[in-house]
Amino acid sequence: LEKTVLLGELSLDGRVRPVRGVLPAVLAAKREGWPVVVVPVDNLAEASLVDGIDVWGVRTLGQLQSWLSGSARLSERVGTASTDSAPSADLADVVGQAQARFAVEVAAAGAHHLMLTGPPGVGKTMLAQRLPGLLPPLSDSESLEVTAIHSVAGLLSSDTPLISRPPFVAPHHSSSVAALVGGGSGMARPGAVSRAHRGVLFLDECAEVSVAALESLRTPLEDGQIRLARRDGVACYPARFQLVLAANPCPCAPADPQDCICAAATKRRYLGKLSGPLLDRVDLRVQMNPVRAGAFSVADGESTDRVRRRVALAREAAAARWRPHGFRTNAEVSGPLLRRRFRLGNAAMEPLRSALDRGLLSIRGVDRTLRVAWSLADLAGRDLPGLDEVAAALSFRQMGARR
Report the C-alpha gap between 114 and 245 in whole angstroms: 6
Instruction: Pick the last residue of a domain from 58, 76, 94.
Output: 76
Q: Is residue 213 part of a domain?
A: yes
Question: Would you call 311 helix, strand, or coil by DSSP?
Answer: helix
User: pLDDT per residue over 114-163, tens digit each?
Assistant: 999 999 988 999 999 999 999 999 999 999 999 999 999 999 887 778 89
Report the C-alpha gap between 72 and 101 in whole angstroms: 59
Helix, strand, coil share of the chain (percent; to 5): 45, 15, 40
Q: In sequence order, what E strands does 132-231 have?
A: 168-169, 182-183, 189-190, 200-203, 225-230
pLDDT bucket at 299, cuts 50 / 70 / 90: low
Q: Is residue 101 part of a domain?
A: no
**What is each CA distance from 145 to 26, 39, 319, 386, in whole angstroms?**
12, 19, 20, 37
Q: Is residue 319 part of a domain?
A: no
Q: Is residue 169 part of a domain?
A: yes
Query: DSSP assignment, residue 60?
Result: B
Count CB atoms within 10 A of the CB of residue 288.
Answer: 20
Beta-strand relationship, 75-76 and 114-117? unpaired
Q: Is residue 238 part of a domain?
A: yes
Query: DSSP assignment, residue 343?
Result: P
Q: Which of 162-171, 287-296, 389-398 is predicted least confidently?
A: 287-296
Residue 239 sits in the same domain as residue 385: no
Residue 268 sits in the same domain as residue 119: yes
Residue 277 sits in the same domain as residue 133: yes
* Whether pLDDT at 402 is above 60: no
User: pLDDT per residue over 65-92, tens digit each?
Assistant: 999 999 999 999 887 665 555 566 889 8
Asked if residue 49 lies in contact with residue 160, where contact means CB atoms within 8 angstroms, the answer is: no
Report the C-alpha gap between 382 and 209 in whole angstroms: 40
Question: In the Cβ-directed half-sphere of 367, how many Cα atoms lie within 13 Å?
Answer: 15
**Spatial CA neighbour of 398 closest among 371, 360, 372, 342:** 360
Report the C-alpha gap between 39 and 50 in whole angstroms: 13
* Whether pLDDT at 403 is above 50: no
User: Tell me, what CATH number does 264's domain have?
Assistant: 3.40.50.300
Q: Is residue 312 part of a domain?
A: no
Report the C-alpha gap between 116 and 19 in whole angstroms: 39
Residue 239 sits in the same domain as residue 170: yes
The domain of 385 spans 328-398
Q: Is residue 50 part of a domain?
A: yes
How many helical (H) and strand (E) elements, i.e. helices and strands, does the chain have? 17, 15
Domain count across the chain: 3
Asked if residue 167 lies in contact with residue 222, where contact means CB atoms within 8 angstroms, the answer is: no
Residue 136 sits in the same domain as residue 9: no
Residue 18 sits in the same domain as residue 142: no
Residue 57 sits in the same domain as residue 193: no
Residue 133 sits in the same domain as residue 244: yes
User: pLDDT per residue over 14-49, tens digit each?
Assistant: 999 999 999 999 999 999 999 999 999 999 999 999
Q: Is residue 86 part of a domain?
A: no
Residue 29 sits in the same domain as residue 162: no
User: pLDDT per residue over 158-180, tens digit each?
Assistant: 777 889 999 999 999 999 999 99
Residue 66 sits in the same domain as residue 215: no
pLDDT bucket at 2, cuts 50 / 70 / 90: confident
**Spatial CA neighbour of 370 closest among 382, 381, 388, 385:** 385
Residue 164 sits in the same domain as residue 231: yes
* Residues near 231 by beta carbon (within 8 Å), at least 6 away in sequence: none
Residue 65 sits in the same domain as residue 117: no
pLDDT of residue 271: 85
User: pLDDT per residue over 238-286, tens digit each?
Assistant: 999 999 999 998 898 888 778 888 888 888 888 888 888 899 899 999 9
User: Tell me, what CATH number does 28's domain have?
Assistant: 3.30.230.10
